[in-house]
């Protein structure tokens, strides 16, 4: 997993943190030694990657938590619920509600709309013509989306690129699904992944721990997959609610991969 993407950058501070609020600020990246990932762990990752590449339509219902380290090193845990619906290659909708804020993201293959019901505002801008380019541009710009980042890298096969060590911990059960439990270490983060066993090896849970930061804060998400979601004409269309105002998009250059 590309750790350089897991950092605090408030490019769209009021309405765009798609799957999580910021984790702790990243340490400077150091050159990683030769990676040591057990064959068993790599086989699980490869199986998951191959399967994710076959999916064209799906939705994910996730419950996530993240730690915020406040004054004197106290940790406060924030909770968030999200429903993400995707129709590849160029449709995406995310409905997010949480302790800190609620927001909606709608992408139709031509533009992206970000809506903040708490503020009564929305912003829109032209966007790349496929989800892969959109997510890649946003991650490169430093916009933080831990769960989306993991799913993206799992799909393109880069999940273990900067891993220093990885093992298959053993068997586990998440929401009634039998899973393989994996654990990995990078320069300044540890992360764990639970992958469903069998013919549909989707990731069911992820935990990211930021080491060398006060309190070792964590991000955690449990994912429930629907591989045959109900999609209609309105799923990827944003209709502004009454009395909602449009505001300028904070950083349209980031969406399209250009320098801000």
Is residue 40 domain-resident?
yes
Mean pLDDT confidence for 148-156: 74
The pLDDT confidence band at residue 8, using thresholds 50, 70 and 90, is very low
Residue 199 domain boundaries: 3-25+32-251
pLDDT at residue 256, as a whole number: 85
pLDDT at residue 234, as a whole number: 95
Is residue 260 domain-resident?
no
pLDDT at residue 113, as a whole number: 94
The pLDDT confidence band at residue 146, using thresholds 50, 70 and 90, is low
Is residue 175 domain-resident?
yes
Q: Which of 22-26, 121-125, 211-215, 237-241 has the lowest mean pLDDT?
A: 22-26
Is residue 258 domain-resident?
no
Asked whether residue 157 carries a pLDDT value surpassing 60, the answer given is yes
Does residue 132 or residue 40 have the better pLDDT?
40
pLDDT tens column, 248-259: 998 888 888 875
- pTM reported for the whole predicted model: 0.83
182 close to 160: Cβ distance less than 8 angstroms: no
Mapped onto helix, strand or coil, the DSSP state of residue 169 is: strand
Is residue 202 domain-resident?
yes
How many domains are there within the chain? 1
The beta-strand segments (E) located in 88-149 are: 91-98, 103-107, 111-116, 121-126
Is residue 170 domain-resident?
yes
Helix (H) or strand (E) holding 68: strand 57-69
Mean pLDDT score across all residues of the chain: 84
Mean pLDDT confidence for 219-246: 96
Angle at 122 (CA atoms; ends 255, 106), nearest 5 degrees: 55
Tokens standing for residue 221: 């998400």
Alpha-helical regions (H) of 54-211: 131-140, 146-156
3-state helix, strand, coil in the chain (%, to 5): 15, 40, 45
CATH of the domain at 110: 2.50.20.10
Taking residue 57's Cβ as centre, other Cβ atoms within 10 Å add up to 14
pLDDT at residue 203, as a whole number: 96
Tokens standing for residue 90: 């160029």
Integer Cα distance of 201 and 172 in angstroms: 14
Peptide bond between residue 89 and the one before it cis (omega within 30 degrees of 0):
yes
Is residue 230 domain-resident?
yes
HSE on the CB side for 96, CA within 13 Å? 28
Helix (H) or strand (E) holding 235: none
Mean pLDDT confidence for 210-221: 93
Residue 214's nearest CA partner among 72, 58, 45, 44 is 72
Does residue 101 or residue 148 have the better pLDDT?
101
Asked whether residue 243 carries a pLDDT value surpassing 80, the answer given is yes
At which residue do the structure tokens 């009634």 appear?
A: 176
219 close to 64: Cβ distance less than 8 angstroms: yes
Task: Give me the percent of the chain exceeding a pLDDT of 90.
Answer: 66
């Amino acid at each position: 997993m590309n750790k350089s993407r897991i950092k605090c950058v408030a490019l769209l501070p009021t309405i765009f943190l798609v799957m999580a609020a910021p984790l702790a600020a990243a340490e400077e990246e150091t050159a990683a030694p030769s990676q040591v990932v057990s064959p068993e762990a790599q086989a699980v990752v490869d199986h998951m990657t191959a399967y994710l590449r076959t999916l064209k339509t799906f939705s994910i219902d996730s419950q996530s938590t993240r730690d915020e380290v406040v004054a004197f090193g106290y940790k406060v845990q924030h909770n968030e619920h999200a429903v993400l619906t995707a129709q590849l290659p160029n449709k995406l909708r995310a409905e997010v509600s949480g302790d800190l804020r609620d927001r909606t993201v709608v992408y139709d293959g031509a533009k992206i709309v970000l809506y903040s019901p708490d503020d009564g505002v929305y912003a829109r801008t032209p966007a790349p013509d496929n989800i892969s380019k959109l997510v890649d541009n946003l991650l490169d710009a430093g916009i933080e989306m831990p769960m989306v980042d993991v799913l993206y890298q799992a799909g393109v096969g880069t999940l273990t690129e900067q891993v220093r060590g990885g093992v298959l911990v053993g068997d586990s059960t998440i929401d009634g699904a039998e899973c393989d439990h994996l654990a990995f270490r990078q320069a300044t983060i540890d992360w764990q992944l639970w992958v469903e066993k069998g013919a549909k090896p989707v990731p069911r849970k992820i935990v990211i721990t930021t080491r060398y930061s006060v309190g070792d804060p964590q991000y955690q998400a449990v994912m429930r997959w629907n591989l045959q979601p109900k999609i209609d004409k309105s799923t990827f269309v944003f209709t502004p609610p009454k009395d909602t105002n449009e505001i300028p998009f904070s950083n349209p250059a980031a969406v399209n991969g250009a320098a801000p």
